[in-house]
Structure 1
Amino acid sequence: MTTLETRPVIGAGIDRVDAPLKVTGKAQYPNDVDRPGMAHAALVRSTIAAGRIRGIDAAEAEAAPGVLAVITHLNAPRLERGPTTLLGPSPPAPLQDERILHYGQHVAVVAATTAEQARHAASLVRVDYEPARALLGIDEPDAEVLVNPWNLDHERGDVRAGFAAADAVVEGTYTTPDNTNNPLGLMSVVAAWDGDALTVHESTQWPHNVRTSLAAIFKIPESRVRVLAPFVGGGFGAGLRMWPHVVLTVLAARRIGRPVKLVLTRPEMFTAVGHRPSSVQHIRLGATAAGDLVAVEHEGVSPVAMDDEDYEPVSLGSAVSYACPNARTRDRQVRLNIPCPGSMRGPAEGQGNFALESAIDELAHAIGMDPLEFRLRNFAEEHPPTGLPWSSNALRECYERGAERFGWSRRSPEPGSMRDGRWLVGYGLAGVAYPAYQAPCQARASLNRDGSAYVRSAATDIGTGTYTVMTQLAADLLGLATAQVRFDLGSSDLPYSPQAGGSGLTGALGNAVHAACRGLVGEFLDLTAADPGSPLRGAGIDDVAVSEGRIHLAGDPRRGEAYTDILARHGLEGLSADGRSTPPGSEDLGMAVAGAFGAKFVEVRVDPDLGLLRVARVVSGIDGGRILNAKLATSQIVGGTVGGIGQAMFEDTATDAETGRIANATFGDYLVAVNADVPDMDVFFAGGPDRATPIGTKGVGEIGLVGIAAAVANAVHHATGRRIRSLPITIDRLL
C-alpha cells in the first residue's frame, strides 16, 4: 500500500501528550472513580490449596455495620464461563461450586457502605474446609500432564543425525521461578448498573474483551455494556484477561442495586490477576568444531491451573532463533493447585530465552569460540522453519554495533580473568528474536471545520505511550501539527481494538489509524474530484501529499487547498472515515513476518568473598522496525531492562510447598529491581521500517526484558567460572 508523505513529526522524541494530566493528578484511573451512592467490596479468599467447602457461616458478617450483601457459592447465581478470546479460554467463573482449586481462591465477596466496613465484614466470614492433598510441584507424579496442548511443537530436519555429526554437544536443565506482575497501580473495578445497562471502569489492557465477556456471562447484549479504561496504572500483562474479581464486582453491584468499587490488595494481586509460570527446561545443542550449529533440542515443562487453559510454549523460540538445519522443540504442561498463570512481560520468551542463550554460550565455550562470533556465524539470514526471507531483520547490525559501543573487544576470554580491585568483572551477551504478533483492529478519523482532527479506537495506554505515538502518526498522515490532533482511547464504545499486549498494539492500531487517515483524505478528494473550483480536481489518493493542514499534488505544494476551505465550500462541519487493519500473512507476502530482534550486552561485578552481584552496564541494540517516537521507545527498552534485571537477580514468587500459600506476597518480601540496582544503560535502534505493514513498526514492549537474564548469567560465568542455570541468581549461588 502506498503511504502518504512522511512528515518530520514521526520519530521525534516529543513528550507524552497525556503527561500534563498525569503530573497534575487529573488523569482518572479506575481507582479514582467515584459514583453517587457507591458501595465497596472486599474478597474472602481460601486458606487451603485443594479440597472443598463443607460450610460457610456468613451470619456475623451480614450483621456487621454497613454490610449490604455477602455472596458465596450458596447464594450466587449460575454463571457461564466467559468466551474464548484471542488469548484462549477465559478464567473460570467464580463462586459456582464448593471446590477449592488453589490457595487464595475467591470464596465470597462482601459489599458494604465503606471499604473499611467491607474488609472488616470479610474477616468475619467463617469457612469450614475439607482439605485434600494439593498438587503443588512441577515434578508431582500424580499431576495431569498435557502434551503439546496448543499444537505448537516444532520439528525439522533430522535431530539425531545432527547430533551424530556434531563435534561438541552440550546439554543442561535450566529452571525459572514464578514471577508476579506487580504494576504500581493496584487493579481496580467500579461497576454500575442502570436497569440492564452496565458501566464498568476497570484496570484492563483490553476493554472490548471485558465487554464481550461480561455480556456473555450476564446474558445481556454487548451494546448494553460499556467498559472504560482511559488510564491504567501499569499492567505488564496482568490486565490482558478478564479476571474473576471483575465478575464478582459486577455481581455485587447487581445484587445491591448500587455502584460497587473493588480495589485488590497487594497480596490479592499475587493470586487474582495471573503470574509468569515457572519452567523446567532441558536443552541439548550440537555444533561442529568450525562453529556451525547443527542440532537444537529444547523441551520445556510449565504449570497450569486446575481449571484453566493458559499456555506459554517456552521452547518455541528456539526453533527460529538460529540457522540450524535440525531442530526439535517440545512443551508440556502440568496441572497443579495454583492460581491461574497469565502473561507477564515477555511471556514464554522471558523463560525460554534464558535457557537457550545460556546454552548457546556454553556451546561457544565448549568449542573455544567467542560467544559473539558464534552467534554471528549462526545468524539466521532466512526464517529457519520456512526458508522465506524476513520482512526485516537487523539482528546482525544489533550485534555488531552493540559490541562496538559496549567494548566487547576488551573482553578477556578466560573466565575469572578480569578484575577491578576486589571485584570480578564479567562480560555477557544474549540475542533475542521476539515473535511477530498483530491482531485485527479498527479506528475512526474525523476532521472538523476548525481544522482539528479527532482520531479514536478502543485501545488502552498502559504507560507505553499509545496516546502520544498515535497522535504523532495521525498528525503525520493528515499533515497537521500534533497540537491539532486529539487521539482518544480506553472506551469500548470506540472502534474495536485488540489488547495492549504481545508487542502488537502499535502495529495493529497504527495500521488501522493509517487506513482511517488515508480514507479521510480520500473523503476530501471525493468532494474535490468533480469540483471545478478546486486545484485538486481529478486527483486520487496516490496523486497527493499532505502538509500544513492542506492537501496538495505530490511534488507541487502550490497546487492544493486547506481542509477547512474544502469543508466550507461544501457547507460541511466535518468529514469522517473508518479504517481497519488485518494481520499480514507470510504466504501472501512471500516473506516471513518478522518480530523485533535485539542484542543485549551486560557487564557485571561479583564480590568473590561476599557473593554480591552488581550489574554495571547494559547496552541494548534493538531492531524495532520503524520507530515512531524514539524517546518513548527508548523508555520502553529501559523499563524492560529493569524488569529483566529483576528477573535475573531478584524476582521469585515463593509458594509454601506444604500449603500452597504464597509466602512473599508483599513489596516488603517480593524483591524487584530498584533505583540502586539500575546501571548505566545505552539503547540504540537498528534497521528500518518493516516491509510487512504500511507503517513498518514491529513493537518494542517486550523485547527490552527478554535476553537480560541470559546476558547476566553469561556475564556471571565469565566473571566467576560458575554456570548458573537457575533464576534468580542470588548470593547463595555465588558463594
Structure 2
Amino acid sequence: MTAAGSRVIIGAGLDRVDAPLKVTGGAQYPNDFDYPGMVHAALVRSTVAVGRILAIDAAEARAAAGVLAVITFENAMRLSRGPMTLLGPSPPAPLQNDRILHYGQHIAVVVAATAEQARHAASLVRVRYEDVEALLDIDDPAAPVVENPWRLDTERGDVAAGFAAADVVIDNTYTTPDNTNNPLGLMATVAIWHGDALTVHDSTQWPHNVRTSLATIFNVPESGIRVLAPYVGGAFGAGLRVWPHVILAVLAAREVQRPVKLVLTRPEMFTSVGHRPESVQRLKLGATRAGDLVAVQHEAVSTVAMDDDDYEPVSQCSAVSYACPNTRTRDRQVRLNIPCPGSMRGPAEGQGNFALESAIDELAHELAMDPLELRLRNFAAEHPVSGLPWSSNALRECYTRGAERFGWSRRGPEPGSMRDGHRLVGYGLAGVSYPGYQVPCQARASLNRDGSAFVRSAATDIGTGTYTVMTQLAAELLGLDTGRVRFDLGDSDMPYSPQAGGSGLTGALGNAVHVACRRLVREFLDLVADDAASPLRGARLDEVEVSDGRIHRAGAVGRGESYVDILARHGLEELGADGRSTPPLPEELGMAIAGAFGAKFVEVRIDPDLGLLRVARVVSVIDGGRILNEKTATSQIIGGTVGGIGQALFEDTVTDSGTGRIANATFGDYLVPVNADVPDMEVVFVGEPDRATPVGTKGVGEIGLVGMAAAIANAVHHATGRRVRSLPITIDQLML
C-alpha cells in the first residue's frame, strides 16, 4: 500500500496544527485547569543541606487564614517508592522520614483556599535541624563513589599498547558545571480524587509513567488513574520523572478531599525537577603522526544525589564516535548532598561531546592538521564496537556539506591569524552524534462516516511538533488531506506511549501510527473482501494505493471507492485499528541502529581587551533520517543550538559551598541566551531515511545542542590561541 497523487505531505513545512490554539490562548496547560472547590498547595523547603529535622512547629501556619492542612513527615500517610522505569529508579517519595538530603528538599506542604494564603502560611512553618556538615564538592574525598554505575563501561583492543605506539599523545581534563532545566512554563500539577479514582493534570513528558508511578506510590489500581498533559510549557527533560511535588499535590488532594493545584515557583524549579549534573572528564588521545587514532581513553566523574541513580553515561560517546582500535571508557558517580539530577537536553552527550571534540581539536593542533581533515580521516564507516554496518550514517556528508556552506576553506590555520578590525575571528568545528533510542509504542487510528480520521496515542508534545508531524504521517498513510485528520495525545487513557525524550518519540510513535494506519486500510479491504459491489473485492494491501479519501487499485485511480462509501454500504459509523511498534534489534537486522549525526560549524568574534565574545554564525548540518516536517525539524535544531550557546557561554547553577543553597535560582541571576546572543543560523539536512524502521526517522531533539559547546570552545582557541577546558566560557578567560 502506498499513497498516490502529486501532493507532498511528509517532509513539507506544514504550519503547526496546534498553533492557532496556542497563539489565541485556547491551549490549556496544567496550570490553566480549575475545578469547583479547588484549593492550592505551597511547599516548605529545607534550609539546610543535610541532617535531620529535630522539630517542626506548624501551629501558626495551621491557624493562618484559609489554611486547610499542613502535612509533614509526622502526619503524612505512608507511601511506597515509585517503580523502576525505562530511565532508572524513581526519586524517593517525600515526607516519609525526618532525613534531610539536600537544601530545598520538600519537608512540608501547606493547603489553603488561595495560592497566596498557602504561600504565606508556608512561610510561618518553623523548623529546627540537626547541624551536620554537607558533602557538596565533586572532589571531596569523603563523598561516596559509585564505580561503573550502569555497567556500561567499555574496553576494546589494548589501550596501553596503543598509547605506547602513538607518535602524539594529549591528556587533559575538561569540566562542565550543573545546568538547570528552565522551561518557560512553571511545572504544575492539579490532582482530583473521586473515591479511589484519581485525575491528574501534570507538566509531564510521559503520562503513562505518572499513572504507573502514582498507582505504586499510593497503592491504588492503575486503571483508576487518568493523567492528562495535552499541552506542556516546555520541559527539556524536566518532565521525565515523577518528582516529589507531583506526589505532594496528590497527597494533599487526598488529605483535604478537594481538588488541589500546586505550581512551582522559579526558585523551586532549581531544586525540584532535576538538573544536568556536573562532570569532570579526563580524556587522553593517541595518534600517529599521519593523524590516525590509535588509542582513546575517556574517564568521567559526574555528580548524583545521595538517594538516587540518575542515568548519565558521560564517557559513552568516545566508544562509538571514531574508528579507533584501542578504546576505554569509564564512568563514576560521586554522591553529594544535592537535589536529584535528571535529563537535560542532550543528556550525557552534551557533557561528553564537549570533552571529546575539544580533545580532537587539540590533537589536530598538535599534529598541525586541519581539524576537519582529522575527523574525516577517522570517520567510523561501521559501528566501532559491534563492527556492524550502520543502518544509516551521513556524517561524512555533514562534514563536507557544512564546510562548503560555512566557508571553512577561508580558515587561517594559525590561532589568532584572522581579524575583523580590532576583533579576533575564530572558526570552530565539532562532530556530533546522538544514540539511537526507541522503545515500544502503541497508537490507534479510526475512520469515521464523515470521512475524517482520528489518530491518538498517550504521547506528549513539549513543543517539538508531535501533533503536526503525526497528523502529516497519518494523512499520507490514509490518503487524506491534513485537515481531515485529527491527531490527539497527552491522555493516559489512550494507547501506551513512551516519553517525549531521548530523541526517540517520533520514531517509536511514528512507527506505531504507521502500523495502525496500514492495519486500518487492511480492515477496509477485509470488509469488502467478498463484496461483489466493490471494485476492491479480493484486493490485498500491497495491491492498493490511497488518495483523496479513497482506496484504489495501484495505478488505476478509477478502480476503487471511498472510505465513506464502504462504511455506508456496510452500515458502520466508524472502523478502527490498533498499531504497535517494537524496537528493531541489531542482530536481527544485521545493522547497528544509528542515531542522528551532524556537524557544527561556528564563527566567533572576540574583543581582546574586554574579553567580549559573540557567536557570529552557526551552520548545522544534520543527518536526522527521514525528516517528516522540515519547518519543525529546523526549529528543533535552532532551539537546540540556542541551548548549546547557553551551555557554552552562560549557564552555571552555582551552589554555595557552605550551605548547599543554590545562589542564582532566578532568571535574574541564572543566565540564558537572549535574542542579542543568537546569531545567524543555517540548518541543512542530509542523508536518507534510516533503514532500521519503516518510517525512517532518527530524531533531532538532542542533536541541535550537542557539539555547540565544543565548536565554540574550538573557535575561541582558533581566535585567541587560548584553550578553554571548563564551561561556561567567561570573560576573564578571554581577556588577553
Query: Which amino acid letter does the alignment assign opposite residue 518 of structure 2?
Result: R
Q: Distance in 2 between matches of 1:129 and 1:663?
A: 21
Q: Distance in 2 between matches of 1:165 and 1:368?
A: 19
Q: Distance in 1 between matches of 2:190 and 2:112?
A: 14
Q: Residues 282-302 of structure 1: CA distance to partner in whole angstroms, max 9, x if unpaired?
A: 000011111111110000000
- Aligned ranges for residues 436-475 of structure 1 at < 5 Å? 436-475=436-475
Range that drifts further, 545-554 or 598-607: 545-554
What is aligned with 1:518? 518
Aligned pair 1:419/2:435, yes or no? Answer: no
What SS does the corresponding residue of 1:303 show, helix, strand or coil?
strand
Q: Distance in 1 between matches of 2:287 and 2:212?
A: 50
What is aligned with 2:98? 98
What is aligned with 2:211? 211
Aligned pair 1:88/2:88, yes or no? Answer: yes
Q: Residues 396-451 of structure 1: CA distance to partner in whole angstroms, max 9, x if unpaired?
A: 11100000000000000000000001100000000011100011100000000110
What is aligned with 1:348? 348
Q: Residues 489-520 of structure 1: CA distance to partner in whole angstroms, max 9, x if unpaired?
A: 00001000000000000000000000000010
What SS does the corresponding residue of 1:189 show, helix, strand or coil?
strand
What is aligned with 2:317? 317
1:4 is displaced (CA, Å) by 5.7
What is aligned with 1:77? 77
1:5 is displaced (CA, Å) by 5.8
Q: Distance in 1 between matches of 2:637 and 2:558?
A: 42
What is aligned with 2:401? 401
1:22 is displaced (CA, Å) by 0.4
1:164 is displaced (CA, Å) by 1.4
Q: Distance in 1 between matches of 2:524 and 2:131?
A: 69
What is aligned with 2:148? 148
1:542 is displaced (CA, Å) by 1.1
Query: Which amino acid letter does the alignment assign opposite residue 668 of structure 1?
Result: G
- Aligned ranges for residues 434-583 of structure 1 at < 5 Å? 434-583=434-583
Query: Which amino acid letter does the alignment assign opposite residue 711 of structure 1?
Result: A
Query: Which amino acid letter does the alignment assign opposite residue 659 of structure 1?
Result: T
Q: Distance in 1 between matches of 2:635 and 2:433?
A: 20
What is aligned with 2:191? 191
- Aligned ranges for residues 641-656 of structure 1 at < 5 Å? 641-656=641-656
Q: Distance in 2 between matches of 1:80 and 1:413?
A: 60
- Aligned ranges for residues 121-132 of structure 1 at < 5 Å? 121-132=121-132
Query: Which amino acid letter does the alignment assign opposite residue 143 of structure 1?
Result: A
What is aligned with 1:274? 274
For normalisation by structure 1, the TM-score amounts to 0.99
Aligned pair 1:696/2:689, yes or no? Answer: no
Query: Which amino acid letter does the alignment assign opposite residue 87 of structure 2?
Result: L
Q: Distance in 1 between matches of 2:635 and 2:115?
A: 36
Q: Distance in 1 between matches of 2:393 and 2:560?
A: 39
Q: Residues 191-242 of structure 1: CA distance to partner in whole angstroms, max 9, x if unpaired?
A: 0011111000000000000000011111111110000000000000000000
Structure 1 moving runs of 4+ over 2 Å: 2-7
What is aligned with 2:660? 660
- Aligned ranges for residues 169-180 of structure 1 at < 5 Å? 169-180=169-180
What is aligned with 2:378? 378
What is aligned with 2:706? 706
Aligned pair 1:431/2:438, yes or no? Answer: no
What is aligned with 1:236? 236
What is aligned with 2:332? 332
What SS does the corresponding residue of 2:561 show, helix, strand or coil?
strand
Q: Distance in 2 between matches of 1:321 and 1:734?
A: 30
Q: Distance in 1 between matches of 2:487 and 2:81?
A: 34
Q: Residues 465-501 of structure 1: CA distance to partner in whole angstroms, max 9, x if unpaired?
A: 0000000000000000000000000000100000000
What is aligned with 1:624? 624
Sequence identity of aligned pairs in percent?
Answer: 81
What is aligned with 2:109? 109
What is aligned with 2:21? 21
Q: Distance in 2 between matches of 1:476 and 1:325?
A: 45
What is the number of residues matched between the two proteins?
Answer: 734
Query: Which amino acid letter does the alignment assign opposite residue 726 of structure 2?
Result: S
What SS does the corresponding residue of 1:124 show, helix, strand or coil?
coil
Q: Distance in 1 between matches of 2:412 and 2:164?
A: 32
Q: Distance in 2 between matches of 1:185 and 1:150?
A: 32
Q: Distance in 2 between matches of 1:292 and 1:165?
A: 12
Q: Distance in 1 between matches of 2:592 and 2:375?
A: 21
Query: Which amino acid letter does the alignment assign opposite residue 617 of structure 2?
Result: R
Q: Distance in 2 between matches of 1:74 and 1:628?
A: 53
Query: Which amino acid letter does the alignment assign opposite residue 283 of structure 2?
Result: I
* Contact kept? 1:3, 1:694, Cα under 8 Å: no
1:269 is displaced (CA, Å) by 0.1
Structure 2 runs not aligned, ≥5 long: none
Q: Distance in 2 between matches of 1:455 and 1:225?
A: 22
Q: Distance in 1 between matches of 2:36 and 2:356?
A: 54
What SS does the corresponding residue of 2:640 show, helix, strand or coil?
helix
Query: Which amino acid letter does the alignment assign opposite residue 430 of structure 2?
Result: A
Q: Distance in 2 between matches of 1:215 and 1:542?
A: 44
* Contact kept? 1:5, 1:477, Cα under 8 Å: no
Q: Distance in 1 between matches of 2:52 and 2:362?
A: 48
For normalisation by structure 2, the TM-score amounts to 0.99
Q: Distance in 1 between matches of 2:531 and 2:581?
A: 31
1:162 is displaced (CA, Å) by 1.0
What SS does the corresponding residue of 1:664 show, helix, strand or coil?
coil
Q: Distance in 1 between matches of 2:2 and 2:273?
A: 40
Q: Distance in 1 between matches of 2:685 and 2:528?
A: 41
1:80 is displaced (CA, Å) by 0.5
Aligned pair 1:263/2:272, yes or no? Answer: no
Query: Which amino acid letter does the alignment assign opposite residue 671 of structure 2?
Result: L
Range that drifts further, 139-148 or 107-116: 139-148
* Contact kept? 2:49, 2:103, Cα under 8 Å: yes
* Contact kept? 1:304, 1:311, Cα under 8 Å: no
Q: Residues 61-106 of structure 1: CA distance to partner in whole angstroms, max 9, x if unpaired?
A: 0000000000000000111100000001000000000000000000
Query: Which amino acid letter does the alignment assign opposite residue 116 of structure 1?
Result: E
Structure 1 runs not aligned, ≥5 long: none
What is aligned with 1:365? 365
Q: Distance in 2 between matches of 1:49 and 1:320?
A: 39
Aligned pair 1:182/2:144, yes or no? Answer: no
Query: Which amino acid letter does the alignment assign opposite residue 241 of structure 1?
Result: R
- The Cα RMSD (Å) is 0.8
* Contact kept? 1:109, 1:248, Cα under 8 Å: yes
What SS does the corresponding residue of 1:343 show, helix, strand or coil?
coil
1:535 is displaced (CA, Å) by 1.1
Q: Distance in 2 between matches of 1:579 and 1:447?
A: 14
Query: Which amino acid letter does the alignment assign opposite residue 561 of structure 1?
Result: E
1:3 is displaced (CA, Å) by 6.3
1:311 is displaced (CA, Å) by 2.0
What is aligned with 1:584? 584
* Contact kept? 1:4, 1:518, Cα under 8 Å: no
Aligned pair 1:41/2:41, yes or no? Answer: yes
What is aligned with 1:680? 680
* Contact kept? 1:191, 1:259, Cα under 8 Å: yes
1:117 is displaced (CA, Å) by 0.3
Q: Distance in 1 between matches of 2:554 and 2:648?
A: 52
What is aligned with 1:250? 250
1:581 is displaced (CA, Å) by 0.4
What SS does the corresponding residue of 1:695 show, helix, strand or coil?
coil
What SS does the corresponding residue of 2:291 show, helix, strand or coil?
coil
Q: Distance in 2 between matches of 1:555 and 1:283?
A: 58
What SS does the corresponding residue of 1:718 show, helix, strand or coil?
helix
What is aligned with 1:32? 32
